[in-house]
Amino acid sequence: MAKPSMAKPTQPPAHIGPGFRGGRRGQFRGQVDKAKNPMQTLRRLWDYFSKQKWLFFQAIGWTLTSTAVSQLAAPLIIGWLINDLVDPTPGNKLVLYLLYLLGIHSLSSFSTWRSGSIMVTVSQNIIKRLRFDLFSNWQYIPIRYFDTVSHGDVMSRATNDMENINNTLSTFVTQMVNSIAVILGTLILMLWISPLLTIISLAVVPVMFLVTFLIAKATKKYFTQTQAKLGQLNGLIEETITGQKIVKLYTREQIITEEFFEMNEALCKYSTKAQIFSGLIGPFMNVLNNVSYGLIAGAGGWMVLTGRIELGFIVTFVMYARQFTRPVNEMANQFNQIQSMIAGAERVFSLMYEPKESPDIENAVTLSSPEGDVKFDRVSFGYEEEKIVLQKVSFHAKPGQTIALVGPTGAGKTTIVNLLTRFYEVNQGKISIDDLPIQNITRNSLRSSLGIVLQDTHLFSENVLENIRFGKLTASDEQVIEAAKMANAHQFILKLPHGYETVLSEDGTNLSQGQRQLISIARAILADPLILILDEATSNVDTRTEVHIQEAMKRLMKNRTSLVIAHRLSTIKDADIILVIHQGEIIEQGTHQSLLDQKGFYWQLVLHPETLLEST
């Protein structure tokens, strides 16, 4: 049977059509990850094992019991039985030996089942803890990380890589213990039966280990590349599903399919190579095993004929020799399996141990009753050191004031929000609330004092009631409904199939953009923040819906310090102060009328509103 070709197809299948262009997204979103520190990964896994050590040692005990009775004692009993049959004597113990074998194999079957069931429990408990630690830890990873990685790759670490660890842990440990016990036990019994035959049978073992080492070395990189490519492919799938409307709107189905084809080809190539190389071990081992059996049979037959050993012990020795090489084969296969597991575990731990947000400083202040006085003092910032987004930005929002931020795309408006919320830390300058630098305020109390309504609202796959309650988890149903009324959302919610109990689809896609925005505003009203941030909150809705949102926003902004990012004149003209931002600097500031009188950049934006685009 011919080997499958490893060559990459020069073009996609016919149904994809011409125009194949690969290599986008930086050659599958970056270089292939390689295992950097497998020993550290194994030590981290052992930390999880140690919490299950009682069950773990029980599983080992049952595994050793099964090994001792079925693979060490049984062949010896069979040898004695054959000797009795060859040289029958009064008081033949045939029936007794058969009863021994029945009892031994019954105990072995029970021990194997018990060991397996315990290890399944251990592995599931470990994965449960791993999955929880991963999820809980990534809640505290800085936003910067998620802005720079594929969300699908993150999902792959929490699902595919985690399942890979689970499948390996549930079988690997008991198999490894069994293999080691069989090797040591059979070696001792083989030496007891015949040192000469033992030396002959061991002659092929160094060759076995050499072959295993060479093949495992070749497969290691392919298993690692397979896991990395699988994560990249999941990233593309996740982005395509969430962005399906955009794909169809811009008729990019062909391009996305071509990109998927190339990623899928790469995954297939590495996965196939990994399986083919690992599959070489079995045939090589069979050849070496058969050579060993031939040598043992020849030497053993000569020893039987010369009366140096009994026939039954030759049979026992051959069984031990077969058992001795079998664990070597299994350990070789397990080595490939554990390489794949380590590659997945390392990806999981790399996310789990990703640096968290810096802890609050010692003696950080809790904002218990903030007034809402916000100051930016010569703040400079860049997402990358060589690319500065904000240049020495300074402004003062007094308690209860509404500050509007306007400017073209890329000016730095949303960056101001990211810095105020401490999603990112300033490079230079100072941001303060009530004259306290925000670095001196605990993050929880800082963010609890802020309410944010974004252009792209995010709703959870819960009912409407719980989505609004997310703003204040202790709120009663009556308080949630009151917040919805203030947000002008109550009427449309009642018209939903199950009212407030209507379960929303992922990200609320079974609602219109305006309805999602009103629920988001209701959530902010319920949270009752002192400082409010509205980031393009009305940019994606029609004029009629905008009226409802504007009314809700006015109620929400009352007696609150508000930062409003908007491109519609109706949203910003009533602001106390308008800050005009261009290329990371505040180039103008004042009221709507005073800025019009200056006939500067803002005046141009009002005359040509198409230049006042969405925030970056």
Residue 611 lies in a domain: yes
Q: Which amino acid is at 223?
A: F
Q: Which amino acid is at 264?
A: N
Last residue of a domain, one of 301, 320, 352: 352
Does 259 lie in the same domain as 347? Answer: yes
Give the chain's domain count. Answer: 2
- Token code pair at residue 602: 């803002």
Residue 208 lies in a domain: yes
Does 339 lie in the same domain as 303? Answer: yes
For β-strands 585-590 and 577-582, DSSP reports them as antiparallel
Residue 482 lies in a domain: no
pLDDT given for residue 432 in this prediction: 92
Last residue of a domain, one of 352, 387, 421: 352
Q: Are 299 and 205 contacting, i.e. CB atoms less than 8 angstroms apart?
A: no
- Token code pair at residue 220: 């290691």
- Cα separation, 222 vs 269, in Å, equals 9
Residue 548 lies in a domain: no
Does 405 lie in the same domain as 320? Answer: no
pLDDT given for residue 394 in this prediction: 92
Does 128 lie in the same domain as 221? Answer: yes
Does 125 lie in the same domain as 60? Answer: yes
Does 424 lie in the same domain as 284? Answer: no
Q: Are 6 and 269 contacting, i.e. CB atoms less than 8 angstroms apart?
A: yes
Q: What is the pTM of this model?
A: 0.64
Other CB atoms within 10 A of residue 475 CB: 19
Does 277 lie in the same domain as 389? Answer: no
Residue 184 lies in a domain: yes
Does 407 lie in the same domain as 345? Answer: no
Residue 313 lies in a domain: yes
Does 244 lie in the same domain as 183? Answer: yes
Q: Which amino acid is at 294?
A: G
CATH number of 339's domain: 1.20.1560.10
- Cα separation, 85 vs 290, in Å, equals 27
Does 442 lie in the same domain as 293? Answer: no
CATH number of 393's domain: 3.40.50.300
- Cα separation, 486 vs 191, in Å, equals 87
Residue 607 lies in a domain: yes
Could you say which DSSP state residue 72 is in?
I
Ordered DSSP codes for 147-203: HHS-HHHHHHHHTHHHHHHHHHHHHHHHHHHHHHHHHHHHHHHHHHH-HHHHHHHHT
pLDDT given for residue 91 in this prediction: 55
pLDDT given for residue 543 in this prediction: 62
Coil, strand or helix at 405: strand
Ordered DSSP codes for 415-446: HHHHHHTTSS--SEEEEEETTEEGGGB-HHHH
| Cβ partners under 8 Å of residue 170, min gap 6 | 119, 120, 122, 123, 124
Beta bridge partners of 563: 403, 533
Closest Cα to residue 376, out of 584, 593, 147, 140? 584
Helices (runs of H) and strands (runs of E) counted in the chain: 24, 10
Other CB atoms within 10 A of residue 468 CB: 32
Q: Are 535 and 406 contacting, i.e. CB atoms less than 8 angstroms apart?
A: no
pLDDT given for residue 376 in this prediction: 93
Closest Cα to residue 565, out of 460, 426, 412? 412
| Cβ partners under 8 Å of residue 73, min gap 6 | 104
Buried b (16+ CB within 10 A) or exposed e, 505-535: eeebeebebbbbbbbbbbbbbbbebbbbbbb
Ordered DSSP codes for 472-534: -TT--HHHHHHHHHHTT-HHHHHTSTTGGGPBP-GGGTTS-HHHHHHHHHHHHHHH--SEEEE
Last residue of a domain, one of 319, 352, 385: 352
Q: Which amino acid is at 256?
A: I
Q: Are 218 and 144 contacting, i.e. CB atoms less than 8 angstroms apart?
A: no
Coil, strand or helix at 59: helix
Residue 471 lies in a domain: no
* Structural domain for 571, as ranges: 374-449+565-616
pLDDT given for residue 235 in this prediction: 77
| Residue that the structure tokens 């198999």 belong to | 175
pLDDT given for residue 292 in this prediction: 75
- Cα separation, 102 vs 107, in Å, equals 9
Ordered DSSP codes for 76-101: HHHHHHHHHHHS--TT--HHHHHHHH
pLDDT given for residue 6 in this prediction: 34
Does 170 lie in the same domain as 54? Answer: yes
| Average pLDDT by stretches of 10, the chain with 616 residues | 36 36 33 60 85 85 86 82 69 75 87 88 88 86 80 80 84 81 86 84 76 74 78 79 69 82 87 78 74 77 78 81 74 72 86 84 83 90 84 90 85 86 89 90 87 79 88 88 86 89 78 83 85 72 66 77 78 85 89 88 76 41
Does 425 lie in the same domain as 346? Answer: no
Coil, strand or helix at 381: strand
